[in-house]
Amino acid sequence: MTLQLWQVFEFPPKAEAAAAYSMPLIGITCLLFWMQRLVLGRKSYVALTGKSPGRQLIKAGAFRWVLLGWSLFVCALALLLPFAALGQAAFARAWGKGLSLSNLTLGNFHYLLFEHHNSQL
């Protein structure tokens, strides 16, 4: 599947098809992480390395909720924006038209499932 994904980037590149190809890979990866969590989740592990320096608690006072909000915002952007961009590209008719109802399609998945394989023969 990754080779098919690489072929989509040959001339002319089809970013929409590449994004659609990546969606099952992301699903498989999430499933494998979930399975790993099930298998290893109840066991405990100890790192056998040198001593780390002691941790110090920083008193943020009234700003602790602001700092927590900022930290969660940055984490959400780092996790959600790449998936949102990938999803938008996978369901888009054209790469540069942005997110709108007129630009949404399932045609990229139809192309990958039914037409792309036949065009390689």
Is residue 1 included in any domain, yes or no?
no
Q: What is the pLDDT of residues 57-112, one digit of tens each?
A: 888 888 899 999 999 999 999 988 888 888 888 888 877 777 788 888 888 888 88
| Residue 36 pLDDT exceeds 90 | no
pTM of the model: 0.46
- In this structure, the number of other CB atoms found within 10 A of the CB of residue 88 comes to 16
Residue 87 buriedness (CB in 10 A; 0-12 / 13-18 / 19+)? middle
Would residue 48 count as lying in a domain?
no
Per-residue model confidence (pLDDT) at position 31: 95
Amino acid at 97: K
In a domain, 91, yes or no: yes
Host domain of residue 92: 14-39+63-121
Give pLDDT, residue 121.
42
Mean pLDDT in residue range 22-45: 85
Torsion, Cα 56 77 3 33, to 10 degrees, reads 50
Number of domains into which the chain is organized: 1
Residue 12 pLDDT class (50, 70, 90 cuts): confident
